[in-house]
């Protein structure tokens, strides 16, 4: 799995410039980096997920088309049998 790039050092420098202590900035940057690594999906994973969803959608459409066709053929056969009996 590809990783999301996050520059924790640069982020910590910005926090220090904004008034955080060095320890606060480092802890915040580390926590933020962990959250990004654990919870965000990279663009490649999202693209793969979209491709998989598209394939699933096409397969589902194909399945539903076959089922609908089967039901149509069965109903025509039933109607033909009823017409023949009457």
pLDDT digits (tens, 9 = 90+) for 38-57: 788 788 888 999 999 999 99
pLDDT in tens, 7-26: 888 989 999 999 999 999 99
Q: Which helix (H) or strand (E) holds 66?
A: helix 43-85
Domain boundaries, the chain: 1-40, 42-86
Q: What count of other Cβ atoms lies within 10 Å of the Cβ of residue 31? A: 11
Q: Supply the pTM of this predicted model.
A: 0.51
Asked if 38 and 25 count as a contact pair (C-beta separation under 8 A), the reply is no
């Amino acid at each position: 799995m590809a990783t999301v790039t996050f520059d924790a050092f640069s982020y910590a420098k910005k926090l220090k410039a904004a008034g955080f202590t060095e320890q606060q900035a480092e802890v915040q940057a580390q926590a933020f980096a962990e959250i990004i690594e654990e919870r965000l999906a990279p663009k490649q994973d999202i693209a793969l997920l979209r491709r998989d969803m598209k394939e699933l959608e096409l397969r589902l459409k194909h399945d539903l088309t076959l089922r609908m066709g089967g039901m149509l053929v069965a109903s025509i056969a039933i109607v033909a049998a009823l017409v023949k009996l009457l």
